[in-house]
Structure 1
Amino acid sequence: MEKVTNEELYLSILNNIQDGVYYVDIHRKIKFWNKGAEQITGYRADEMVGLHCPESGLNHIDEFGNHLCVTGCPLFATNIDGVVRTEKVFVRHKNGFRIPLLTTVYPIRENGVIVGSVEVFTRNSPKVYDDNLIENLSEKAMHDSLTRLPNRAYLESFLQYKLSEYQRFGKRFALLFADIDHFRVFNNTYGHDVGDLVLTDIAKSIMHTIRKEDMFGRWGGEEFVGIFSINRNYEASVIAEQLRHLVENTVVTNSDGQELKVTISVGVTISRHQDTPDDIIKRADSLMYQSKHNGRNVVSSDVSAENV
């Protein structure tokens, strides 16, 4: 009789329980996906193993509409601090509807060092929800109602996540702070409807250029914040210049058919190891005001031009 190893026994047990179980490594790459997870979500193990969580299609959203893969991933947090977490979430089934789950995340240690986390999940209710309903909940909670860009709360959550990722794994990012030049002139001269048109046209110009790992949103009023992953320091200024140029070439046409030109002043900086969210925002904001003093429609940066 062939001897069964402990590992084979444990995997057999995990594969035959009704709860969903999956394991991710320290970088949130899925390494194990049991049959319970297949039955609950509709995704087979061969479709999920090898993917990073944000690529999986599950698109976890909490009960308040927050996209957890972007702003508050419990797996990411447990990988860092080793704290067991329980969350009520909605995930997207392979067939497109949303299902409510109760999930618990446990750290996995090897020789005392966290090497990954296991998430155990079960149906929180037999009910299923229309995906559009949940997406609308998220849209209202995390997006600006005028421009449809991520709002300040969403940006702040994403910035906290990116700082944690940088401090843990060294993944650099750039943060830019942009302000529309002479915005009060648009409002006072042409009316608030044209001011709103300026905001929405800028949003439309930029939102289609943003990669899925980046974020650009409305900080408030005529101010915008962008958070962009980079590999080299010089890329921060390149991205900022691209956005400045994109806005400069955006033409806003008012109800009288008059074409209006718009520009932005931009400050850009990159992540530093001791940064808090307030630190990096203030640094970029100060650089933006430097651009205002330098004649507007320019980028000011404190980033070294070296290719590192």
Structure 2
Amino acid sequence: MIENFPKEILEKFYEGIYFVDNNRKILYWNKGAEDISGYKAEEVINKHCFDNILMHVDNTGNQLCKNGCPLHKTLQDHQYRETKVYLHHKNGHRVPVYIRTFPMFDNNNQIIGALEIFSDASFQKEILKKLKKLIMIDKLTGIPNRRYFEAQFDSKLLNYKKTNIKFAIAILDIDQFKKVNDIYGHDVGDKILKIISNTLISNIEPTEVVARFGGEEFMLLLNENNLDKLIFKIDKIRTLIENSGFKVKKDEKEFEVKVTVTIGATIIEKNDDFDSVYSKIDKFLYEGKNSGRNISIVK
């Protein structure tokens, strides 16, 4: 039975995989099974799954290895099964696992054993969290991306319509960023993006949002609902970026690389949606660009 399976591939699975014969003796135990259960292959191979090694229980605490084992039922009725159980880790704690059991047949279609695949349910949750984070985080800078920003904007807008608590939105663009990339290279450009990201994330409130919107463009959701305070905050951010920088060597000479940004910002109004407010601040941004750059325009 197990000779027909490419073990070098099975060993690469994160899921636990093991085979039992008709007597429920364990014949194979992969590395995934070791990692999830804590038991090494040599500790379980040639033992029986009903020896209560993993001591599976269900949601109500019923012991399954002696009575109610899905793998045993699959051996009896040759049916595929999937369910969630809780195995007993070698270190003593309970691990939630999703299990799938499959009957195994020989060339004459005779049952010769069964296979179980089990995956750590808590691991699955962590994977989902990581995947969710990945699609919401800009890979280069480590700050939220456009997808996250738009979701947060929608949430804040809904809250504003319910509570009448206004908020501000800003767009920020690096001045002459292409020129910096052309002169110093994209590695330097990437470092500038990271510096600006860190400056922004370090100088907003915990409930405010900064995101890389794409290229050299960033967006901010700020708690300010007073125009004078917003002007002060935006200009402070612009000034902090203007006074950031680092040194690089090029052609055996050392240069200080500094950049400036132009910012457009406004406070949300009742009839605004994302498209309308984005269009508004984008016009402010290009008004600033056309006025010489390194300017904050807040209206």
TM-score grouping bracket, smaller chain normalisation:
0.5 to 0.7
Deviation at 1:294, TM superposition (A): 1.3
Q: Please point out which of 266, 287, 292 is paired with 2:263.
A: 266
For 1:211, the equivalent position in structure 2 comes to: 205
Deviation at 1:233, TM superposition (A): 2.8
TM-score, length basis structure 2? 0.56
Deviation at 1:231, TM superposition (A): 4.0
- The reply to whether residue 146 of structure 1 matches residue 143 of structure 2 is no
Q: Please point out which of 182, 187, 197 is paired with 1:193.
A: 187
Deviation at 1:131, TM superposition (A): 7.8
1:151 maps to a residue whose letter is: N
For 2:288, the equivalent position in structure 1 comes to: 291
For 1:171, the equivalent position in structure 2 comes to: 165
- Within a 5 Å distance, the mapping from 1:73-92 to structure 2 comes to none
- Structure index of larger Rg: 2
Instruction: Render the CA deviation track for 1:57-98: whole Å, top value 9, x for unaligned.
Output: xxxxxxxxxxxxxxxxxxxxxxxxxxxxxxxxxxxxxxxxxx
Deviation at 1:134, TM superposition (A): 5.0
CA contact (8 A) 1:197 1:252 kept: no
Alpha carbons of structure 1 residues 179 and 246: separation in structure 2 relative to 1, 3 Å:
same
- Within a 5 Å distance, the mapping from 1:115-130 to structure 2 comes to 127-129=121-123
CA distance in 1, matches of 2:228, 2:243: 23
* RMSD, aligned α-carbons: 2.4
Instruction: Render the CA deviation track for 1:246-298: whole Å, top value 9, x for unaligned.
Output: 10111133355531111000001110000011011111111011111111111
Any gaps of 5 or more consecutive residues in structure 2? 1-95, 97-118
CA contact (8 A) 1:252 1:259 kept: yes
Aligned length: 181
CA contact (8 A) 1:173 1:230 kept: yes
Deviation at 1:126, TM superposition (A): 9.6
Alpha carbons of structure 1 residues 130 and 210: separation in structure 2 relative to 1, 3 Å:
farther
CA contact (8 A) 1:181 1:263 kept: yes
Deviation at 1:210, TM superposition (A): 2.2
- The reply to whether residue 280 of structure 1 matches residue 277 of structure 2 is yes
CA contact (8 A) 1:217 1:225 kept: yes
CA contact (8 A) 1:252 1:262 kept: no
2:283 maps to a residue whose letter is: S
CA distance in 1, matches of 2:244, 2:291: 22
1:173 maps to a residue whose letter is: F
CA contact (8 A) 1:171 1:229 kept: no
CA distance in 2, matches of 1:235, 1:176: 13
Alpha carbons of structure 1 residues 255 and 210: separation in structure 2 relative to 1, 3 Å:
farther
For 2:83, the equivalent position in structure 1 comes to: none
- The reply to whether residue 238 of structure 1 matches residue 232 of structure 2 is yes
Helix, strand or coil for the counterpart of 2:207? coil
Identity of aligned residues (%): 32
CA distance in 2, matches of 1:295, 1:130: 52
- The reply to whether residue 183 of structure 1 matches residue 177 of structure 2 is yes
Alpha carbons of structure 1 residues 127 and 246: separation in structure 2 relative to 1, 3 Å:
same
CA contact (8 A) 1:216 1:225 kept: yes
Any gaps of 5 or more consecutive residues in structure 1? 1-98, 100-124, 303-308
CA contact (8 A) 1:174 1:228 kept: yes
CA contact (8 A) 1:177 1:288 kept: yes
CA contact (8 A) 2:225 2:267 kept: no
